[in-house]
Amino acid sequence: MNKISIGQSELMASQISLGIMRMNALSVEEAKMVIETAISEGIDHFDHADIYGKGASETIFGQAFKKLGISRDSVILQTKTGIVPGIMYDFSKEHIIQSVEESLTRLQTDYVDTLLLHRPDALVEPEEVAEAFDELEKSGKVRTFGVSNHNPLQIELLKKFVNQPLIINQLQLSLTHTPMIDAGLNVNRMEAGSVLHEGQLIDYSRINDMTIQPWSPFQSGNGKKGLFFDHPDYLELNKVVNEMAKEKGVAREAIAIAWLLRHPAKMQPIVGTMNPDRIKAITKATEVSLSREEWYKLYLSGGKMLP
């Protein structure tokens, strides 16, 4: 698998990241198999968060990774902080630093390669965030920083105070959840797709050299639950995806990921499966070449229209 540059950093990572949210449901032995499979398929980037499995996902990953005896420097570990589930968001200096310390203990490592602020905090005091980032960088506990689900002005506010480049924005994007793309195509129109929900994030990210990490790449959009695969509301999309998968000799999941990889923004999709066979199938996306016409055909089959 080819590697991509992550934002304005020296980090080079696999085109696909493995999200560890569901690892808390696995035994350590099962987790070892998942990690081993991912690495053998070329994935060296692992996405965590302090809240995944109430911390258990990081704990199991840390135990499994240690048992595998893999060099820490051969992988990139990313975690997120800022959500206090069901209660509040917390970007205070105290919470950020304490969260990182706890993540490092669970992951059994001295540092994480990247720390993301996990969804915006309405009460953010960017001066505190800056102090936390400086302390974590100086101590060597965090090497690079970014955000998740932030819009351009929220990022600009942080950048006014934070000394480190913000190299990543983790955002929901899939064949059926495309507001970032819809708005860019429907400029100066009155249709629903013209509504600018997030401040033209794709263009902002490209201008500012921020890597977009699409999350939930197989989830249904527009508030619908479950995967879009075999979903009754997406019959045409499934027909096109299945036909293209058959033609190219890959799984349908690989087509959905290849659609994201085809975008010139050089995104790094995060996939959350804990099934080794599915990991193998998904990584074939990096070998799939989609033409411009095929990319738009997939986009339109999800129920979109061109102006």
Catalytic residue among 52, 204, 234, 299: 52
Distances, alpha carbon 16 to alpha carbons 169, 272, 273, in Å: 15, 11, 12
Question: Cβ(170)–Cβ(147) under 8 Å?
Answer: yes
With 0-12 / 13-18 / 19 or more C-beta atoms within 10 angstroms meaning exposed / middle / buried, residue 116 is buried
Spacing of C-alpha 44 from chain mean position: 14
d(CA 235, CA 44): 35
| Cβ neighbours of residue 166 closer than 8 Å, sequence gap 6 or more | 7, 145, 146, 147, 155, 158, 159, 210
Question: Cβ(273)–Cβ(217) under 8 Å?
Answer: no
Question: Cβ(185)–Cβ(224) under 8 Å?
Answer: no
H helix runs in the chain, sequence order: 28-40, 56-68, 93-107, 126-138, 152-161, 179-185, 201-207, 235-248, 252-261, 276-283, 292-301
Question: Cβ(55)–Cβ(20) under 8 Å?
Answer: no
At 179, list the tokens: 């507001």
Question: Cβ(215)–Cβ(170) under 8 Å?
Answer: yes
52 given a catalytic annotation: yes
d(CA 126, CA 155): 10
Question: Catalytic amino acids?
Answer: 52
